[in-house]
Amino acid sequence: MKFILTIALLLNFTFCLFSQDDFYDITNVQEIRIYFNEANWRHVLDSLFTNIGESGRLAGDVTINGKQFKNAGIRYKGFSSYDADNKKNPFNIDLDYTIENQNYKGYKKIKLSNVIGDPSFVREVLSYEIARKYMPASKANFANVYVNDTLQGLYTNVEAVDKIFVKTRFGSKSNSFFKGSPAHLVAACNGANANLAYKGADTTVYKSLYKMESDSGWNELIHLTYVLNNQTDSIANVLNIDRALWMHAFNYALLNMDSYIGYSQNYYLYKDDNGIFNTIPWDFNLSFGSFRFSDGTCLNINPPYYCINIPNMKKIDPLRLMNYSYRPLFKNLLLNSSSMKMYLAHMRTIVNENLKNAEYYTKGKIIQNIINTHVQNDLNKFYSYDFFITNFDTTTGTGDSFHQIPGIKDIVNGRVAYLDTFPGFNGAPVISDINHSPEYPVNRHSTWITAKVINTDSVILAYRFAGSNVFSKTRMYDDGNHNDGLAGDSIFGTAIILNGHTLQYYIWAENDVAGIFSPERAEYEFYTIQPLLQPGEIVINEFMQSGNATSSDSVNTQNGWIEIFNPTKENINLNHAGLTDDSENPSKWTFPDTVIHAGKYIIIWDKNENSLSGFHSNLQILSYGGCLLLTNQNQAVIDSVFFTQSIDSKTIGRFPNGTGYFTYMVPSFSKYNYTVVTPVPTSDFTIFPNPAKDIFYIVIENKANLLSIDISDINGRSMIRADVSFSRGASPVVCKTIDAAGWNKGVYFIKIICSDKTMIKKIVIC
C-alpha cells in the first residue's frame, strides 16, 4: 500500500531547499544599509531604547540588497545583547513604519542580532535549521549591516514572529497572540519569573509578563493559564500540547536555556482557528550552552547560584522542572505519563537526527564556510577570528568557567552521552509495516490502517481529515477482529470512516518504559492517504488551444496549455490521476507524483517534449475543437469540457473561477479567472461552449439581417422559437444567452433565419 509522508506546514523550509530569491536563503549573505540624517544617531537610538523602549523608533532610509525603503522605523532590540557601550548593537527595522505595507519580499519587520555570546557565529542560524524540522520556527541567515555606509558588522537575520509569520503558518493573523516576555528578569531560585502561572482575573497583573501582539485577547490568555494550572485534564482543549512538548524537547536537547525552561521567556503563543494556543520558540542566539542562567536551577552552592557551569550543563536533567510549580507549561503537561514519554521521544528524535549523527557539525561547518570572509571583515565582532574558528569545537573565553563560551562540539558530545543513558530514551516499541486499504479510499467508507508494533502495551492512531484540524485519537487492536491478522501476532489495526479531502495520521506506541511515534516527527509530520478524487476537488479551470498561445513555456515554445485548479482548502496529491483528449483512452496521460496545493494552480502543456521543463503531455488541444477529460485514480471522469473553435489570443475557462461554466476569456495563466470576453465570431454565427451543460451562448454576425432563432431537439420538438429585432447600433454583432437548464442530454439543432439565408448548427447538451 502507498502513503505519503507530509510536513504539516509546507512553508517549512529545510537546509537545502531555500529559493535563491528568498530573503532568508542561508547560502547568501544579505546586504542591509541604514541611512540616518542625524550624525548622533547612536545617542538618539540609545536614548529611545532606554527611555521609551520598543515603541521608540528613529526614522531612516533602508536599502536591502539594492532596493530602497523610505522612512523606515529603526530601533535597538534585546536586553542581554544590547549595551550602550557596544559598537555593534542589534537592530529592529519596521519597513512600513510611515509608509503602509512597505515590505521586502513580503517581510515588513527585519530582526538583526549582533551575535554576542557566540564566537562561532552559527548558534542561532544552526538552531533554527534544526527547530524547523519539528515545529513552526523562523527562517534565519546572515546580513552585513551598514549605517551611513559604514560597516557595523555581520549580523544574524532572523524572520520576525509577527502577523505575517502566523498567517503563513496558521492561516490566520487576527486571533489572540502573545509573547512570553517578562519585563524584569529576576535571578533567583524562587520562580519569580512565573510565566503562565494563574494570577487571578485582573488583566493588569499579566502585562508585565507578556507582550500582546494582537489587538485583544487578555481574557483568553488568562483562561489558558487557569486551565493549565487548575484543570489539567482539559489542557488539550486550550493548548497544543504536542507543540509545547517539541519546544521543551528542543530547548533541553540543544541546551537553549534563554527560553521558557530558563527565565520563562522567548516564546510566543498564537491561538489558531480551532481555539487552541500554539507555542512558537524564539531567540536561539545563546543556544548550545552559551546561556547558563536560570531562576529555576540551583546546581551550584557558591554564588552566582543561578549559573550552571559547563560540566553541569552537559548533564542538566530534562525533567528538573517537574520540581517547580512555577513552570506549569512544563510540569502540568508532563503529569500525564504518556505525555512525559512523548516529550522524551521527541528529545530522542532531535538528538538522533541532529546531534548523535553529527549532522549539526556538518551543517555548522558549511555555514561557517559561507560567512568566513564576512566574519573576518567584521571589525566590531565581540570575539577574535581565532575564536570563530575554535569555538565550534572547544571552549573559548577568558576567566573562570562562568565567563567562558562552551565549544559546540564539546557540549554536544557531553549532552549526547548523558541523554543516551537517561531513563525513557531507550526501550521504546518498534513500529514497522504500516499499511492501509483500500489503496484509494472513498468518502463515507471505512479505511483500514494496520502496523506491526513490537514490545508495546498500547497503540494509538491519531487522525484528521483537514490539515488545520486537531488530531482525533483511537486505539489500534491486535485481537484478530480489526483487519489485523491473528490475535497476538503484533499486527495492530483499526478502521476510520473517511470524511474529507484527505486523511492524515500518525501512530503512537508505548510500554511502561518509553514510547515512539511513527513518523518520529509527529505531530508536525504525518502520513497522508489520498482518497479517491471526487468531482469538484480538482478541476480543469482554463485552457489555451494549440496555435493560439499567449503564454510560453521554459524555452519560449508556444503551445496549448491546460490549467488545473485545486479549489479546496487541502493539498491534494495527483499521483495516478489523469488527463485525456480521447474519451476512449482515459489514461492517455497521467500525473506524476505531485501535489497541487490548496487554492493553487498547475499547468500542463500539450506537447510531449521532455527537453522542456514543467509538465508536458501527449495531448492535443486542437484549435477547431475537441474534448478534455480529467480522471481520478480509477480512471473515472471527474471533470470534462467539450469545446469548439478557438478565438485569437483568447482562452476558454471557468467563470466564476473554479466553479462556473466554460466561456471565452482573457488569458489568466496560472491565475484567478477574472475577465470574460464576448468573442468576435469567425463565421456567421458561433456557439460556445459546445458541448454545454446549463448555459450556452450564440454569437451572431450581421444582426441587421436577423429575423428569428429556432432551437429544436433531435425529434424536431421546438425548445425555443423567437422572432427578434434589434435597433441598429455601431456593432454588427449580438450575443444571445440560452438557458438550457432542464433540457435532456443530447443533440439539438440551432436554426438562424436571416433575410437572405438560413443557417443550421448542432449543439450537444451534456
Residue-wise pLDDT for 84-115, tens only, equals: 889 999 999 999 999 999 999 999 999 999 99
Residues spanned by CATH 2.60.40.10 within the chain?
Answer: 430-529, 680-766
CB atoms within 10 A of CB 726: 12
Closest CA to 314 of 299, 304, 326, 302: 299
What pLDDT does 259 receive?
A: 92
CB atoms within 10 A of CB 469: 13
In angstroms, the CA 289 to CA 254 distance is 8
724 pLDDT higher than 60: no
Helix (H, G, I), strand (E, B) or coil at 459: strand
Helix (H, G, I), strand (E, B) or coil at 7: strand
Average pLDDT, integer, range 39-58: 90
Confidence of residue 606 (pLDDT cuts 50, 70, 90): confident
Looking at every residue in the chain, the average pLDDT score rounds to 87
Query: Looking at the domain covering 533-677, what would its CATH class be?
Result: mainly beta
746 pLDDT higher than 90: no
What pLDDT does 714 receive?
A: 73
Determine the distance from the C-alpha atom of residue 103 to the mean position of all C-alpha atoms in its chain, rounded to a whole number: 20
On the 0-12 / 13-18 / 19+ scale of CB atoms within 10 A, 18 is middle
User: Are 31 and 144 within 8 A, CB to CB?
Assistant: yes
Q: What is the DSSP letter of 724?
A: -
**Locus of grid cell 557566540:** 118
User: Are 197 and 326 within 8 A, CB to CB?
Assistant: yes
Confidence of residue 334 (pLDDT cuts 50, 70, 90): very high
Average pLDDT, integer, range 258-276: 93
- φ and ψ at residue 155, rounded to 5 degrees: -115, 155
pTM (predicted TM-score): 0.84
Rg (CA), the chain: 32
Least confident of 350-364, 557-571, 695-709, 736-750: 695-709
CATH assignment of 680-766? 2.60.40.10
What pLDDT does 756 receive?
A: 64
Kindly list the strands in the beta sheet with 177-180, ordered across the sheet, starting from the edge strand earlier in the chain.
210-212, 177-180, 267-271, 277-281
Closest CA to 286 of 110, 138, 408: 408
59 pLDDT higher than 90: yes
CA angle 533/534/540 to nearest 5° reads 90
What pLDDT does 84 receive?
A: 85
C-alpha cell at 101: 505595507
Determine the distance from the C-alpha atom of residue 226 to the mean position of all C-alpha atoms in its chain, rounded to a whole number: 31
Indicate the angle between helix axes 359-377 and 123-131, nearest 10 degrees: 140
- φ and ψ at residue 753, rounded to 5 degrees: -105, 120
Please state which architecture CATH assigns to domain 430-529.
Answer: Sandwich (2.60)
What pLDDT does 398 receive?
A: 66
Confidence of residue 6 (pLDDT cuts 50, 70, 90): very low
State the Cα torsion 75-80-86-89 to the nearest 10°: -30
Per-residue pLDDT tens digits for 220-257: 999 999 999 999 999 999 999 999 999 999 999 999 99
519 pLDDT higher than 80: yes
Residues spanned by CATH 2.60.40.1260 within the chain?
Answer: 533-677
